Amino acid sequence: MSLAGIGIAVVGGDEREQEIARLAAADGARVTAYGFPWPEDGIAGVARCASPEEAMRGARYALFPIPGIAADGSLFAPEAPAPIVPTAALLRELEPGAHVVLGIADESLRNAAAETGVGLSEYEHDVELMLLRGPAIVEGALAQAIAHTRVTIHRARVCVVGHGTIGALLARTLVLLGASVTVAARNPVQRAAAQAAGAESIPLEELDGLAPSLAMVFSAVPAPVVGRSFLERLPRGALVMDLAAPPGGIDLDTARELGHETVWARGMGRRAPVTVGASQWYGIRRRIDELEEGRGEG
């Protein structure tokens, strides 16, 4: 389906959004952009705007970053000059019947969308897309682990909390690197899959008992599951890394208070922006095509 003449606003994000905007323009869309790092030589066919309002004005689709919305309601945009909060007023800049395509919305954005009649298309749980971008996230997590520890991953005792798409990729990679890996998960099928991949596994309820033996713990669960009782049993200075979207799975404030090495590995796909941006555009384009087909049928 042709995107010729369709307005697409790419708002927030990081270097991945450069590739998304470039590919959208290459597919014929009228692309406006705000809130992500701008390359010195620009992006062919993409208009850089001075504000999110200008970028979204008259667009049929607004593309927000896949990392989840922060606690203050702002989009992931680490280099934007000010927080970008998708209020109802901002959404009203879009053309009637517009859609926002993003990783996952928070309650505030859902309310704003309902108030303005803007549709939401979320792809945080698109397994195909997560598998395509997963290797870059795992590579980024490993780079952070190496940078923030004084031991090798090889032979280290580590725990991966959660065995969804990213948790499974990370656990398998850690096993291949020679770590002694235990996966903690509620789902017995996920625990069995972890064992089949060469890791040990335990129910999430048994996590606290594992803590004293660990050098590193990684959480890929986007809900609070790793709290003070576990962190107090963890050896002081252990690596604690949260790979999940807000609100995350680990109480990082308590982890810092207890003297652990903490990393919130949000936006790890930034490590390989061309590869990950292309995979995200693949998923976004698929949704846009489906939405455009629905408009045609309507």
Alpha carbons 186 and 162: distance in angstroms, whole number: 8
The per-residue pLDDT for range 153-179, each reduced to its tens digit, is 999 999 999 999 999 999 999 999 999
The CATH architecture of the domain made up of 7-127+272-297 is: 3-Layer(aba) Sandwich (3.40)
- Name the nearest CA neighbour of 161 among 248, 228, 68, 67: 248
Mean pLDDT of the region 33-42:
96
Residue 126: the pLDDT is 84
Residue 6: the pLDDT is 97
Q: Find out if CATH 3.40.30.10 is the number for domain 153-266.
A: no
Alpha carbons 113 and 137: distance in angstroms, whole number: 30
The per-residue pLDDT for range 44-65, each reduced to its tens digit, is 999 999 999 999 999 999 999 9
CB–CB of 12/35 below 8 Å?
yes
Alpha carbons 95 and 73: distance in angstroms, whole number: 23
User: CA quadruple 150, 154, 158, 160: dihedral positive or negative?
Assistant: positive
The residue ranking higher by pLDDT, 136 or 25, is: 25
Domains 7-127+272-297 and 153-266 share a fold: yes
Alpha carbons 102 and 99: distance in angstroms, whole number: 10
Alpha carbons 21 and 7: distance in angstroms, whole number: 11
Ranges of each domain in the chain: 7-127+272-297, 153-266
